[in-house]
């Protein structure tokens, strides 16, 4: 995330970071952010990020990335939030994950409409354009 923050700042953007107290104590905070918040726990960090975000974009990453993606996708599905979610599928990084989601649809654990409630693109500009056109999926969760 530091590379993304650096690029946004270099382009004249503003970057608002939310980090856990433990990571901050270990020196993981980015000193150049426009705004910086320290959350006591990972749970409170995610709650704060969900509160302040207009949309969510998952970049290639590890288990934390997938966990945060699944949480906001589920919150959208349950109508707890209504914010667009996207995957920046750089070099096909999420292909296997998308195959798993398609398997959930095929085995009737996910309505097909919910499969398409996440925007997926390899190009960041195209993905952001899609997120701006986000339309809520009102298909019931239950099959």
Q: Is residue 63 part of a domain?
A: yes
Query: Do residue 84 and residue 28 come from a single domain?
Result: no
Q: Is residue 2 part of a domain?
A: yes
pLDDT of residue 5: 93
pLDDT of residue 123: 97
Q: Is residue 85 part of a domain?
A: yes
Q: What is the CATH number of the domain that holds 94?
A: 3.40.50.450
Query: Do residue 60 and residue 128 come from a single domain?
Result: yes
pLDDT of residue 2: 87
pLDDT of residue 143: 60
Query: Do residue 20 and residue 70 come from a single domain?
Result: no
Task: Count the neighbouring beta carbons within 10 Å of the beta carbon of residue 69.
Answer: 20
Query: Do residue 36 and residue 23 come from a single domain?
Result: yes
Among 34, 104, 120, which residue's Cα sits nearest to residue 69?
A: 120
Domain containing 123 equals 55-134
Global pTM value: 0.89
Residue 119, exposed/middle/buried by CB under 10 A (0-12, 13-18, 19+)?
buried
pLDDT of residue 135: 87
pLDDT of residue 139: 76
Query: Do residue 79 and residue 124 come from a single domain?
Result: yes
Kindly list the averaged pLDDT for each block of 10 residues, start to end, along the chain of length 143.
92 96 95 95 96 96 95 93 96 97 95 92 97 87 67
Q: Is residue 121 part of a domain?
A: yes
Identify whether the C-beta of residue 45 lies closer than 8 Å to the C-beta of residue 39.
yes
Looking at the structure of the chain, the number of domains it has is 2
């Amino acid at each position: 995330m530091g590379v993304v923050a650096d690029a946004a700042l270099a382009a004249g953007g503003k970057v608002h970071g939310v980090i856990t107290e433990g990571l901050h104590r270990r020196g993981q905070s980015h000193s150049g952010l426009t705004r910086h918040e320290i959350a006591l726990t990972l749970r409170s960090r995610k709650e704060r990020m969900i509160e302040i975000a207009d949309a969510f974009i998952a970049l290639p990453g590890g288990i934390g990335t997938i966990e945060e993606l699944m949480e906001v996708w589920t919150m959208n599905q349950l109508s707890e939030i209504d914010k667009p979610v996207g995957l920046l599928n750089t070099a096909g990084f999420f292909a296997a994950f998308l195959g798993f989601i398609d398997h959930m649809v095929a085995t009737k654990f996910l309505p097909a409409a919910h499969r398409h409630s996440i925007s997926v693109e390899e190009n960041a500009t195209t993905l952001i354009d899609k997120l701006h056109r986000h339309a809520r999926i009102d298909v019931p969760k239950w099959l």
